[in-house]
Amino acid sequence: MMTGNTGGRRASADEAEALIGHTRTLCEQLLEITREQDALIERGETESLVRLVERREEIVTRIEQAGAGLRDMGLDQPGGLDAMDEAARARVEAGLTAVTSIGAQIAEADRRAERAMLERKDAIGRELHGVRGGGRAVRAYGNGAGPAGPRFEDRKG
């Protein structure tokens, strides 16, 4: 059967539940990575953070693919679950609700991470400004020269 709008097909309950379960697992993995990301940002572990972001991007790509599969099944359309019996529909709706809830947690964690990274960037900027200011102070006091060498004077008498 066609959903009528995108050429998709109605999903069987088993197909829908399997894909939703897969999507939920991916979202849970992404949430865990997001939590690890928060800890790395807080500790200032930039190199580890870069590697983690690469892993995160791989999972995001897989979630996008799963989302496309859900749309192809018509699960995002009004009436997309109508062909399922009541028990299957309830399971699929619960799965979709769980995925949406995890997505909201990820979005909130991402907002926190973005704020933390901006704060860290600002702190580094202030530190760099202080270092540059310290260099200017050294140059101002000593004109960049080191201590004067010893002087010897002959005195007569």
Tell me what pLDDT residue 67 has.
92
Phi first, then psi, for residue 9 (nearest 5°) are: -125, 155
106-150 pLDDT, tens digit each: 999 989 888 888 887 787 777 777 766 666 666 666 655 555 666
List alpha helices for 44-146, DSSP H. 46-72, 86-142
In the beta sheet, which residues pair with residue 2?
9
**Domain count for the chain:** 1
Q: Does residue 100 form part of some domain?
A: yes
Q: Does residue 49 form part of some domain?
A: yes
Report whether pLDDT(3) > 50.
no
Give the span between the Cα atoms of 70 and 21, in whole angstroms.
11
Tell me what pLDDT residue 7 has.
45
- Asked if 135 contacts 57 with a C-beta cutoff of 8 angstroms, the reply is no
| Owning domain of residue 96 | 13-112
Mean pLDDT, the chain, whole residue set: 82
70-118 pLDDT, tens digit each: 999 888 888 888 888 899 999 999 999 999 999 999 999 989 888 888 8
State CA 89 to chain mean position distance. 32
Give the span between the Cα atoms of 118 and 114, in whole angstroms.
6
> Which of 22-26, 39-43, 140-144 reaches the highest mean pLDDT?
22-26
43-51 average pLDDT score: 87
Task: Report the CATH number that the domain containing residue 72 is assigned in CATH.
Answer: 1.20.58
